[in-house]
Structure formats: C-alpha cells, structure tokens
Amino acid sequence: MGVPRSNGCLLCVQRRVKCDEGLPGCARCAKYGRPCPGYDRGFKFVAGKPHRSRRRQGSKTAEDDTELAQGSSGKASQALQQSLARRASSLWLTSAETNVMQSLDILIGDVSHPFPASTTYTTARWFTFLPTIYGRNRTLDSSIRCFAAHHIGMMTENKQAVMYARSTYVEALNRLQRSLDNPRESLSSEILCAVLLQCFYELFANAHDPTSWIKHAKGLSQLVRFRGLDRYQTDFDHTLLKASRGLIIMHSLFSKEQCFLSSSGWQSVMKQQLDSTLPAIFYAQVEELFALYTTIPCFIHQFFELRQADPAHETTRLKASKLLSDTLDMQAKLITWYDSFSYTAPLPTEVLSSMGDTLYPIVYSFTDVDTATIFAAYYSYMVIIHAILGACCYPGEHAAMVAYYRDQICMSVEFNAQGILGPSRLGFPLLVVNQFADPPTKLWVQGWLQRLSNTYKVMLPQNYER
C-alpha cells in the first residue's frame, strides 16, 4: 500500500541516513549542501489508524491516549496499518454504491481520530449525521459518495476511488443545480448538507484552482442566509450552521463583505444549545468568542484599507480614529473573555515537540481539540488587534505583542494539526502567522503548509502568497 517506513525527508530517505526531521528543513540536508525537499512521504495520516482499530476492539488504554495527545501515533505497528488500509481500499474495488456505509464508518472514525467524538464541537460533529441521512436525497447521496470515496482513495492511495470521487462530484454538481432550481427542495436540510460537503471536497481535493472553494463558500453563505433564522431549530440544522460559519467568515474576508452572522438575530440563533455534548458554561464562552470572531473580516478590511491610504488625508485620519476606537473596544472584550475562559478551560502546558521542531522546540499541549481550537482563534484575533493598534500609532509595544501572539499560534500548530480535520482548524491561524511572520517563521509556515496540503489541497504554500 506504499506506507512509508521512514518519516524523514525525501533526500535523507534516498541517502539512507537518519533525518532529524527539523522544520522547515532538516539539518542533514543543510550540512549536505542541498535544499531540504520536505517530508511528503511521512504525512499521509495513515499511522494513526491502528489506534482506531484497537479502540473498536475495546482494548484502548490510557497509555494510548497519552501517545495520541503527544502526536506519537507514528510508532504504531506497520502490519496493522497495512491491514486497515487493505480493508478500506477493498471497499472501492467492487461496488462503491454498496459500500457507502462502510466508507462513512471509516470516515467518521478518522474525523474524530485522535480525539474522542465527545469533543468534536466545531467542524467534526456534522459528519456523524451522514449515515442516518443517506438515502433521503439524490443530490445529498452523490455528495456523500463523492467525499467518502475521496477520503478512502487518499488514505489508501487508491486511484480508482479518487477517480470515482471526481466523476461522482460532477454528478453531484449537476444534481445540485437542479435541486437549487426546485423551490421546495432548495431550502431543505439535505441540500444545505450537500453544499457543505461539496465545499469540503473542493478544500480537500482541488489542487488546481485555489479559488474554487470560495465560490462554493459564497453559495453556502447565500443558502444559509436565504433559508432564514427559523430553519435552524433542529439539532441537525443547527449543527450544519455551526459547521458552515467558519467558511462563511472566510468568504466575507476574501470578498470584502461584512459577515451577516455578526447581526443580533444570527447571534441569538447560534448561541442556542440544542445538544448536551458540552458543559453549558463552556458552550456559552465559546459562543461568546465566536460572536466576536464574526467581526474579524470588518477589522481586516479596514486595516488593509488604512495601510494603503494617504495618511495625510483628512478622510484617512477620521477612519483611523474610528478604527482605533473600535479596536480598543474589541481588545477590552477579548481580554475580559480570556480572563473568564481561562478559569473554565485548562491552560495549555508546555511540552517538547514530538517532531523535534528546531524553531519551536517547546510546543503547547491541550486537554482536547475544542480548547486548542478556541485558544488558537483567540491568539489569531489578538495578532490582528495589536497589528491595527500599531498601524494607528497607539502607544504600546504592539510589534512585540504581534510576535508574541504569533508565536502562541505556532506553538499550538503541532497539537491542532492532528487528524484529517487538523488542516481546517489551522487555515486561518496560519494565514495570520504568514502575514506577520519574520523570515525564519515564514519558512517554518511554508514547511507546515507543504505537509498539510498533502491531504488539504487548499493549503498549498503558493495559495498563501496570493
């Protein structure tokens, strides 16, 4: 199945020498006088599969959890890796249609791996609905088959499954157009789920057009809005809204439009807790941060407009004064939120990098992926806040604070990168880091983007330089 035996860079593997696996490149390549080619062989998200296999057999131990949290799943048995890969690959060798449920079972296991399903607050939870809704709608069914086949194909390097996913994606797009033209069907939960799945497929699979996902995110944003506030009262619809909002914010950012989720009506809908997965106080604090997060596109748009404007112009000074006032207000809200959240959620602990990172040898370990995601979001917003305060010439060491919070994000990357949804959690934080990185940090970001883009194509390094 082509499972790599070494996690070293391609050149060290070719030369058959031990690689230190440093980032953005290894020291041996530097000593050898060659640019490090990267670690494409070692970042297939395959090594962790045996842990899921043991969990289903009921033999997972506390020691396994510790290893997962420290990112050491690469030490798993190669025999078990190959066994699981053969199982997944065989699903698409006969009839893809008859093996959808088995593929979804593997997909959902991979989505939650290496974190328990109970912690999948943000993006992952909506995947658990897919087996129960398959068969309701042909557009949704083809979208499910497309994404599940792509995942199986990438996990096992099965070209047949990947090709099947592409052809099924064309079918799903054609069906979606007809569904959107149907007044009764277009606003259904099933079509919203299909649009979300197709957007995720673009994020994971399209290496040729870095803007295609934005088009889907635009459609997703419009559909969420057109459906109206009253259509998110069931657990399924509410979960779809939660899964969509990160993409909605990113579309607002790139389209230079105000995010409609910042309105009071949408804020009220999103703050409803329709499930009991998380403690009420944690849920409320997460939603409070997210309410603040919906204003990020507006702040960034004004920030870049200010940087390009004539500082001597009266209009520029007025806009800068208004932006400064809003930024100071947001900073106060974020600090108040952090003081409260730090009493509810455990702060990250410092541990040695399991990857031997040379730029960030000390990294953060979190209690769970939800907490890690929220802290990374907070760090990202604080980078933007201090960058704006610096641009507005407000007193303070804002350049130093930008570097501080930027480094907080970088120290969180190793933990957040785990699992197939790790890249989606890091899309915006790494965009922020890359924007305010010094040369060594920028090279470090490029190394991570190259790794993460092996499965999440939208994170190809060149896409972050546009």
pLDDT tens sequence across 64-113? 333 333 333 344 444 544 454 455 445 544 555 557 888 888 888 888 77
Distance CA 218, CA 222 (A): 6
pLDDT digits (tens, 9 = 90+) for 228-255: 999 999 999 999 999 999 999 999 999 9
Whether 91 is covered by a domain: the verdict is: no
- Which structural domain range is residue 270 located in? 113-277
pLDDT digits (tens, 9 = 90+) for 138-176: 999 999 999 999 998 898 888 888 998 999 999 999 999
Whether 95 is covered by a domain: the verdict is: no
Concatenated DSSP letters for 344-396?
HSPPPEEEE-TT--SS-SEEEE-SSHHHHHHHHHHHHHHHHHHHHHHHTT-SS
Same structural domain, 403 and 440: yes
Same structural domain, 7 and 138: no
Same structural domain, 268 and 375: no
Q: Tokens standing for 50?
A: 């045996």
Q: Is the pTM value of this prediction over 0.85? A: no
Mark which of 257, 277, 297 sits at the end of a domain: 277
Same structural domain, 263 and 369: no
Whether 288 is covered by a domain: the verdict is: yes
C-alpha distances in Å from residue 171, one per residue of 96, 105, 143, 167, 190: 15, 23, 8, 7, 16
**Phi and psi, residue 410, nearest 5°:** -60, -40
Same structural domain, 398 and 419: yes
User: What is the residue type of 226?
Assistant: F
Whether 65 is covered by a domain: the verdict is: no
Q: Tokens standing for 135?
A: 């068969």
pLDDT digits (tens, 9 = 90+) for 24-72: 567 766 665 566 666 543 322 222 233 333 333 444 443 333 333 333 3
Long-range contact set of residues 327-330: C-beta below 8 Å, sequence gap at least 24 = 327/299, 327/385, 327/388, 327/389, 327/392, 328/389, 328/394, 330/292, 330/295, 330/299, 330/381, 330/385
- How many domains does the structure of the chain reveal? 3
What is the model's pLDDT at position 95? 52
Closest-CA residue to 109 (of 90, 88, 93):
88
Same structural domain, 273 and 287: no
Same structural domain, 271 and 295: no
Same structural domain, 238 and 299: no
Whether 440 is covered by a domain: the verdict is: yes
Whether 74 is covered by a domain: the verdict is: no
Contact indicator for 49, 33 with CB cutoff of 8 Å = no
Whether 301 is covered by a domain: the verdict is: yes
Q: Which residue has the tokens 């439009």?
A: 257
Length of the chain: 466
**pLDDT tier for residue 366 given thresholds of 50, 70 and 90:** very high
Distance CA 333, CA 288 (A): 10
What is the model's pLDDT at position 116? 60
Same structural domain, 319 and 401: yes
Sign of CA dihedral 98, 101, 104, 109: negative
Same structural domain, 219 and 327: no
Same structural domain, 290 and 328: yes
- Output DSSP code: residue 33: T
Distance CA 58, CA 102 (A): 19
Whether 101 is covered by a domain: the verdict is: no
Same structural domain, 321 and 265: no
Judge residue 386's burial from the number of C-beta atoms within 10 Å of its C-beta, 0-12 exposed, 13-18 middle, 19 or more buried.
buried
Mark which of 277, 294, 325 sits at the end of a domain: 277
Mark which of 244, 277, 310 sits at the end of a domain: 277
